[in-house]
Each structure stands twice: as C-alpha cells, then as structure tokens.
C-alpha cells in the first residue's frame, strides 16, 4: 500500500493488527478501549495515531476521508460515507 494512507479502525480491537504507515484513526464507544489503544500506540512508538469516541452508526469524521478501513462486522452506509470512492474496507475477525 502507498504511504500516508488515512486508515480507520472501528472498533478498536485489543490487539489491532500491524497497520500501514499513515494517519490512523481508531473509533470506539468504550473509553477504556480508547485508553488501552493509546497506550498500545505509545508502546509501538506510533505517533501517527488518534483515538476518538464514536460508533459505526455515527463516525465523527467528514465525508470521503479514509483510504482504508479495518472493522469487525459489516460495512454500513455510515462507514461508506467516510470512505473515499476508491477506499478499501477490510472486515476483520474479532479475537476476543
């Protein structure tokens, strides 16, 4: 994948996979998950990450922004709204 992708991870999984370099935005409705993700990003020396409160039904981001999305579950109209027209959606299996 090209560098500098805008990557959405939703929800933030406890052991999110190695993701491409770029701007990583993790979204969760669980504040503890957000805190754990921030700690994990820090331990991996990832300075390109941001974790925010939200859900698959209400992603707090502008239209057509993300190049790639990793999610547990199925894509929704709300997810498609924030994806670029060429965006790639990866549906991941939860490990919990």
| pLDDT tens-digit map of 46-81 | 888 999 999 889 999 999 999 999 888 888 899 999
pLDDT of 11 above 90: no
| 20 closest CA partner among 69, 56, 57, 64 | 69
Does the domain spanning 5-92 belong to CATH 2.60.40.10? no
Average model confidence (pLDDT) for the chain? 86
Burial 84-95 (b: 16+ CB within 10 A, else e): eeebeeeeeeee
pLDDT of 94 above 70: no
**Percentage above 90 pLDDT, the chain:** 46
């Amino acid at each position: 994948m090209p560098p500098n992708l805008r990557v959405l991870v939703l929800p933030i999984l406890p052991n999110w996979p190695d993701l491409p370099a770029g701007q990583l935005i993790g979204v969760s409705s669980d504040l503890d998950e957000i805190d754990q993700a921030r700690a994990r990003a820090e331990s991996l020396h990832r300075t390109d990450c941001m974790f925010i409160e939200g859900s698959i039904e209400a992603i707090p981001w502008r239209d057509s922004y993300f190049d790639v999305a990793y999610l547990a579950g199925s894509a929704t109209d709300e997810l498609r709204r924030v994806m670029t027209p060429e965006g790639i959606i990866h549906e991941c299996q939860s490990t919990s």
